[in-house]
């Protein structure tokens, strides 16, 4: 979902192109490896196959895998090139896959939030409410919405800006700058991010409220000091998990979905370099997703079986490696 001159990372070449390319290549590898690991775990674990909610994790991992295997390498491949060498058709394909994968990833996160809300607030009715058929339909709806919102506007050029710079680029097969019209930029940002984000914030706040209420009910017969201890521990754990999920999501994607429509509305008045940095910050969310959304015992057991590593070490190694390179690239860009 790049815009303006942020189609590739050529703007970063002045900041040490080789170093940046290596770091981004590592991020691409981690995105691909983490999401393949999640997909393999879901495909090989009998317990995960039996859980209907696994379909939502698989949808999320597929979207993030497309982002890591298709979109991000396109950007890195032209680090040293001043032009788009793949032609107009491949350019359209890249734009379609870019917007589709981002939209599908974020909307999959929204579906996961709704699934957890139902599991917490309707635990007895959950098996009848979330059937395998309904879970499949929800996943299909996410992908149909994502593809529809992208394929037709790009294929029939409905998204294009009418600015002189954009028209020159669209006539040039060596240019693949995605410069949407004001209407498309605002509508796509609302559908792809702002509505799902608002829904996720509301749903997770309700999940936390309901989880707290259930904990208080469960310990009603215990002693007062024991009540305070149990409630405090469980509330802290729930708050930590939900805060981590929403914090990482908003930190990664909110800056881009603020600057993206702003660029279109002001005629790309902002520096494209910052737009590019925020886009890659959003891409980094796909590295964290496999770990954040598969923190249940079944997934961790599958990871441990596949990697022959205990869950604590796996989590530490993954988070340490990700944080190390994220901090490094931020320092380099600043």
**Span 6-14, mean pLDDT?**
47
The candidate with the shortest Cα–Cα distance to 35, out of 290, 321, 284, is: 290
pLDDT at 55: 92
**Span 177-186, mean pLDDT?**
84
**Rounded (5°) CA angle 301-28-198:** 75
pLDDT at 311: 52
Asked if 70 and 286 count as a contact pair (C-beta separation under 8 A), the reply is no
pLDDT band at 237 (very low <50, low <70, confident <90, very high): low
- For 163-172, write each residue's pLDDT tens digit: 787 888 888 8
| DSSP one-letter string for 71-124 | IHHHHHHTTT-SS--SHHHHHHHHHHHHHHHHHHHHHHHHHHHHHHHHHHH-TT
What average pLDDT does the structure give for the chain?
Answer: 78
Residues pairing with 160 in the sheet: 180
Predicted TM-score (pTM) of this structure: 0.80
- For 239-286, write each residue's pLDDT tens digit: 666 778 788 888 999 998 988 888 777 766 766 677 778 888 888 898
- DSSP H/E element including 154: helix 132-155
pLDDT at 279: 84
- For 89-120, write each residue's pLDDT tens digit: 888 898 899 999 999 999 998 998 898 888 88
pLDDT at 238: 56
Work out the number of other CB atoms within 10 angstroms of the CB of residue 140: 11
When the candidates are 1.20.1070.10, 3.40.109.10, 3.30.2320.30, 3.20.20.140, the CATH number that belongs to 10-333 is 1.20.1070.10
Work out the number of other CB atoms within 10 angstroms of the CB of residue 290: 26
How many whole angstroms separate alpha carbon 272 and alpha carbon 275?
5
- For 46-94, write each residue's pLDDT tens digit: 888 888 889 999 999 999 999 999 988 887 776 566 678 888 888 889 8
How many whole angstroms separate alpha carbon 183 and alpha carbon 150?
14
pLDDT at 8: 47
* Domain range summary for the chain, segments of one domain joined by +: 10-333
| 181-190: burial string, b at 16+ Cβ within 10 Å, e else | bbebbbbbbe
Residue 223's contacts (CB-CB under 8 Å, 6 or more residues apart) are none
Give the lowest-confidence range in 7-16, 21-30, 213-222.
7-16
How many whole angstroms separate alpha carbon 175 and alpha carbon 113?
39
- For 126-159, write each residue's pLDDT tens digit: 889 999 999 999 999 999 999 998 888 888 888 8
Q: Over 80: is that where the pLDDT of 212 sits?
A: no
How many whole angstroms separate alpha carbon 241 and alpha carbon 233?
12
- What share of the chain in percent tops pLDDT 70? 75
């Amino acid at each position: 979902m790049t815009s303006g001159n942020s189609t590739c990372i050529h703007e970063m070449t002045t900041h040490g192109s080789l170093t940046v390319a290596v770091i981004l290549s590592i991020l691409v590898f981690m995105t691909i490896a983490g999401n393949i690991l999640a997909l393999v775990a879901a495909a090989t674990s009998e317990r995960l196959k039996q859980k209907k909610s696994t379909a939502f994790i698989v949808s999320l991992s597929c979207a993030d895998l497309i982002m890591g295997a298709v979109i991000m390498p396109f950007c890195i491949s032209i680090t040293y090139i001043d032009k788009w060498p793949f032609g107009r058709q491949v350019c359209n394909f890249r734009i379609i896959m870019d917007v589709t994968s981002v939209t599908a990833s974020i909307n999959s996160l929204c579906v996961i939030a709704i699934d957890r809300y139902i599991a917490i607030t309707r635990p007895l009715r959950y098996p009848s409410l979330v059937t395998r058929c309904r879970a499949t339909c929800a996943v299909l709806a996410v992908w149909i919405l994502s593809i529809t919102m992208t394929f037709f506007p790009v294929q029939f050029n409905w998204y294009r800006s009418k600015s002189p710079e954009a028209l020159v680029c669209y006539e040039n097969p060596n240019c693949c700058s995605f410069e949407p019209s004001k209407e498309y930029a605002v509508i796509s940002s609302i559908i792809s991010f702002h509505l799902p984000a608002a829904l996720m914030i509301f749903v997770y706040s309700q999940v936390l409220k309901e989880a707290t209420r259930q904990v208080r009910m469960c310990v009603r017969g215990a002693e007062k000091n024991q009540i305070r201890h149990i409630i405090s521990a469980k509330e802290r754990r729930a708050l930590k998990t939900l805060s981590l999920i929403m914090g990482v999501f908003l930190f990664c994607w909110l800056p881009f979905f603020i600057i993206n429509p702003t660029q279109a509305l002001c005629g790309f008045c902002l520096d494209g370099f910052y737009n590019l940095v925020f886009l890659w910050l959003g891409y980094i969310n796909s590295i964290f997703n496999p770990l954040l959304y598969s923190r249940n015992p079944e997934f961790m057991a599958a990871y441990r079986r596949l990697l022959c590593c205990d869950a604590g070490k796996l989590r530490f190694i993954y988070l340490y490696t990700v944080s190390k390179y994220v901090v490094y690239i931020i320092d380099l860009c600043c």
